Amino acid sequence: MSEEKFQIITFYEFKAFDASELTTIRAWLRDAMRENSIKGTIILAEEGFNSTVCGEQRAIERFVPDAESILATRLIYKSSFHEVCPFRKIDVKIKPEIVTLKKPVDISLGNGTHVDASRWNELVKDPSVLVLDTRNDYEFKNGSFDRAVNPQTEKFSDLPDFVADNLDPDTHPRVAMFCTGGIRCEKFAPYMKQLGFKEVFQLEGGILKYLETVDDSESLWQGECFVFDDRRTVDENLDKGIGPDYSQK
């Protein structure tokens, strides 16, 4: 990885912002990205922020403390490297949600549902656990975990309908879910708790953190992981993949 020129980091947090301060925060983040030669996308909402950005490694090292100061937090990010920047511009957006579910969710119900990679493998192997891929169908086609259920959704906000039509807290008491970087599960795990599912687990840090930390010999991941930038997919080493772009079909 050391020979790769550009560092790509993804980070998010559910953190309450006042609507009146979002425009100012957006302007500050744009300035910080421009000053540090950072490209990528940051989404802001009253519920928090969600981002994937890229720059040379030293530029990322400068940008992170600037972003932490602006967002008044400590960033926890996942990192990968590539020989070219997979983003073409600076894009900071204000939206109603940082990940669109269109359902009211008490995020605090997700406390205690996170599991790390070692525990995750145990859950995937456990036949009493339903393993739910919370991503869209075109993402699933590039790769997923062994035994994972594909809801065949076109967008994240379709997932509640899949659950209503196919899952039941009484017949599926144990559900383990995952997504690319963790943010969709941060919303969907507490949503499932609201519906009465007794044991809900979410893969902490998502697929990207799993691939970063789990040795290939122990990995239960199969295929490549779709990412939302010009790389399209990444392989088990977080290098640019070779899989097709099913999102365009």
**Residues with active-site annotation:** 179
Cα dihedral sign for 189, 190, 191, 194? positive
Closest CA to 156 of 105, 204, 90, 194: 105
Q: How far apart are CA 185 and CA 87, in angstroms?
A: 25
Q: How far apart are CA 14 and CA 229, in angstroms?
A: 22
Q: How far apart are CA 90 and CA 248, in angstroms?
A: 23
Cα dihedral sign for 3, 7, 8, 12? positive
Q: What share of the chain is helix, strand, coil (3-state, %, to 5)?
A: 35, 25, 40
Q: How far apart are CA 85 and CA 66, in angstroms?
A: 20
Q: Find all residues with CB under 8 Å of 171, minimum gap 6, and list them.
A: none
Closest CA to 12 of 209, 233, 164: 209
